[in-house]
Structure 1
Amino acid sequence: MRKLIYGMGVSLDGFVAAPGDDISWSTPSEELHWYHNETVSPDGLSLYGRRLWEVMSQYWPTADQAPEVEEVEADFARRWRARPKVVFSSTVTEVDWNTTLHRGDPVAEIRRLKAEDGGDMDIGGARLAAAATAAGLVDEFRLFYNPVALGGGAPFFHALGNWLELRLLETRVFEGGTVLMRYELRR
């Protein structure tokens, strides 16, 4: 059975995006970017909601072809294209770059994908992750706290319905002051 990991950059006040879906405040340091790169293995699977998919698919498919691209970004672009992805959306009409579009029930599909053999799955997009969390499908949470407070926006944890009891697995401080807090769900 695959492990499902929900991880995103988070403001100190708990938001993954500022009002207007602005994520410009969460640009990772080079050290943090390399950390993210190492988690994108080709045997895993990335799950995206529509909004995050639109952001990712605008930049990463060709990021390594820019004339002055940093090696860390070029490496991520290559890994991102190679990794299988599933986009959950009823409005997206076309996907590319090793990606499958799923229009049905995301919880049922995530449950099916978890039951398959393979590497870890990561889930991105606060609304999609909220549905998976509420269904008890997320095994691990990775909160990358950035030294910024936004005052509003899209929360990392949407209304849960139940408490989540978590166990701390790791903390790590990256250059620039971003702090990783990695938890697993207590079952």
Structure 2
Amino acid sequence: MRKLIFAMNVTLDGYIAARGDDLGWSGGDGPDSPPSDELFQWWSDRVAATGLSLYGRKLWELMSSDWSTADQQPGATPAVIEFARRWRDVPKVVFSSTIDKVDWNARLVTGDAVAEITRLKAEDGGPMDIAGATLAGAAMRAGLIDEYVLVTVPVLVGGGTPYFTALDSWVKLNLVETRTFPGGRLLTRYETRR
């Protein structure tokens, strides 16, 4: 059985995107700056360890527009080249009812996301990452997420897209890892108690 992991950068006040889908807060030392080399490598290593990535439409469009050809851009650093190649190599499932085609080692699912995620979890294979607020929220409400990974950025944005969705019942978690990155970023990793 596969493990389902929800891993995202998050603001200190709990948002994965500020109002207007603004992600400028998630950079390094200021808006639109890159994360530290250490944190970027950590994310790259996570991608390499992922057996299957699950995306909602919005995050799919953002990631595929940035990372599908990032290694071919002038001035691409070795770290960017490595991340882009790793990202393209990971099999992906995109959940959307508004697009009709996906590329970059991905397949499209237009039906019931919870049913498909449940089916995928039952398969053998490496861990699955889930990304996108709506998709992760549906999996969270269905009790499918096994691990929550937050990289908290020390910024308050006051509103936007929350990391956690409204739930009908409590979910108890065990803290299994913490790590500090440059710029005051804090990794916290929790496993769901079953």
Same amino acid, percent of matched pairs: 60
Maintained 8 Å contact 1:43/1:118:
no
Q: CA deviation at 1:41?
A: 2.7
Given the alignment, which residue of 65, 72, 76 partners 1:65? 72
The answer to whether the 8 A contact 1:42-1:82 is kept is: no
Gaps of 5+ in 2: 28-34
RMSD: 1.0
Which residue does 2:31 correspond to in 1?
A: none
1:93-118 CA-partner distances (Å, limit 9, x unpaired) = 11001000000000000000001111
In structure 2, the residue matched to 1:30 is 37
Task: Tell me, in whole angstroms, the C-alpha distance in 1 between the residues paired with 2:49 and 2:19.
Answer: 33
Instruction: Output the CA distance in 2 between the equivalents of 1:108 and 1:26.
Output: 32
Q: Displacement of 1:69 after TM fit? A: 1.2
Question: Are the counterparts in 2 of residues 142 and 183 from structure 1 also a CA contact under 8 Å?
Answer: yes
Question: Is 1:183 the equivalent of 2:193?
Answer: no
Q: Partners in 2 of 1:41 and 1:76 — Cα distance? A: 8
The match for 2:102 is 95
Which residue pairs with 2:129 in the alignment? 122
Kindly tell me: are residues 5 and 42 of structure 1, through their superposed partners in 2, closer, same or farther at Cα, counting changes over 3 Å? closer
- C-alpha distance after superposition, 1:4-54 (max 9, x if no partner): 000100000000000011112112221111001111137600000011001
The alpha-carbon distance between structure 1 residues 78 and 139, as it changes in their structure 2 partners (threshold 3 A), is same
Q: Compared with structure 1, are the counterparts of its residues 133 and 113 closer, same or farther at alpha carbon in structure 2 (3 Å cutoff)?
A: same
Residue identity matched to 2:185 = T
Residues 1:40 and 2:25 are matched in the alignment: no
TM-score w.r.t. length of structure 2: 0.94
Deviates more, 1:71-80 or 1:36-45: 36-45
| Structure 1, gaps ≥5 residues long | none
* Aligned positions, number: 187
State the SS of the aligned residue for 2:20.
coil
Cα distance, 1:147 vs structure 2: 0.9
| Rounded Cα–Cα distance in structure 1 between residues aligned with 2:119 and 2:160 | 31
Q: Distance in 2 between matches of 1:103 and 1:160?
A: 24
Which structure has the highest helix share of the two?
2
Q: 1:93 to 1:42 in 2, by over 3 A?
A: farther
